[in-house]
Amino acid sequence: KTTIFCPADTPEVNVSEIELQGATVYRVNGLIDDCGRIVGEGKARAGWFDTSTLKEPYRIEGKKTMGLELAEQLGWEVPDLIFYPTGGGTGLIGMWKAFAELEAIGFIGSERPRMVAVQASGCAPMVRAFEAGTEHAPRWEDAHTIASGIRVPQAIGDFLILRAVRESKGFAIAVPDEKISAALNEVAREEGLLLCPEGAATYAAYRQSLADGRVTKNDRVMLFNCATGLKYPLPPVTRTLDRHQPIDYAKL
């Protein structure tokens, strides 16, 4: 039996697909860390097995696959930078672990990508902690962003995220929702790729980093898109055409 707790405004398709696959889903009037507290209490009182972020080994080991496949597909090299949408941070932590293990078994050398933690301006605890030089990131109050996957007010693995970013000589960057929306629209129109808002945040962050000089056009950069844009509400199309009426083709 699997019981899932998610924020009340989680996109409907995510909730529905989890329920359809056999879990019991509850919408919680709070954020993802509020859901985590409920799970923690249930673990203590009901003996649940907690599969939330960094509470078990399987997800971090699975996330390593991104780093393994990235190195393999680049001929056992790594890019200069990796921009990763960072909420709980398991993907960024997992890839950093994968690169260390690949070097240990001789598949890659000592070169590492600069790891870039991408957050939204409305919820950027890692950016604030990175800029302040602290090891932990205090909870971000009034967290809000259209990119709900990175709307994590307080990450349990904050020190691991910050450690990977600093060891790699990378950085943490926040982008506002309007730039996330603009990036999503631009990539859809120009590249035909329907990004999720979290993935669009990495493109907005890349553009911003190019502008401020933290990245150059000669750098080989990997942007991660962690889901499909189909899981989020899309702009409605309201135009209609009556096939029974005369059609003015010049106006179409």
pLDDT at residue 136, rounded to an integer: 97
Q: Are residues 145 and 36 in the same domain?
A: no
Q: Are residues 42 and 89 in the same domain?
A: no
Strand partners, 123: 120
* Domain extent for 38: 3-46
Q: Are residues 39 and 62 in the same domain?
A: no
pLDDT at residue 234, rounded to an integer: 85
247 domain-assigned:
no
Q: Are residues 23 and 87 in the same domain?
A: no
241 domain-assigned:
no
Q: Are residues 14 and 122 in the same domain?
A: no
Domain total of the chain: 2
Longest dimension (CA), the chain: 71
Residue 25 in tokens: 């889903």
Residue 192 in tokens: 């035909």
Q: Are residues 64 and 166 in the same domain?
A: yes
8 domain-assigned:
yes
- Long-range CB pairs of 32-40, under 8 A, 24+ apart, other chains included: 32/6, 32/7, 32/87, 32/151, 32/152, 32/153, 33/139, 33/152, 33/153, 33/154, 34/7, 35/5, 35/6, 35/7, 36/156, 38/5, 39/5
Q: Are residues 125 and 217 in the same domain?
A: yes
Strand partners, 35: none
19 domain-assigned:
yes
242 domain-assigned:
no
24 domain-assigned:
yes
Q: Are residues 137 and 160 in the same domain?
A: yes
pLDDT at residue 57, rounded to an integer: 84
Q: Chunked in runs of 10, what are the mean pLDDT values of the chain (252 residues)?
A: 94 93 96 93 93 89 96 96 96 97 96 97 98 96 94 95 97 98 96 96 98 96 94 89 95 92
Q: What is the C-alpha radius of gyration for the chain, rounded to an integer number of angstroms?
A: 20
Q: Are residues 36 and 76 in the same domain?
A: no
> Within the chain, how many helices (H) and strands (E) appear?
8, 6
3-state DSSP assignment of residue 120: strand
Residue 213 in tokens: 């000089």
Q: Are residues 34 and 80 in the same domain?
A: no
pLDDT at residue 53, rounded to an integer: 87
pLDDT at residue 56, rounded to an integer: 87
CATH at residue 110: 3.40.50.1100
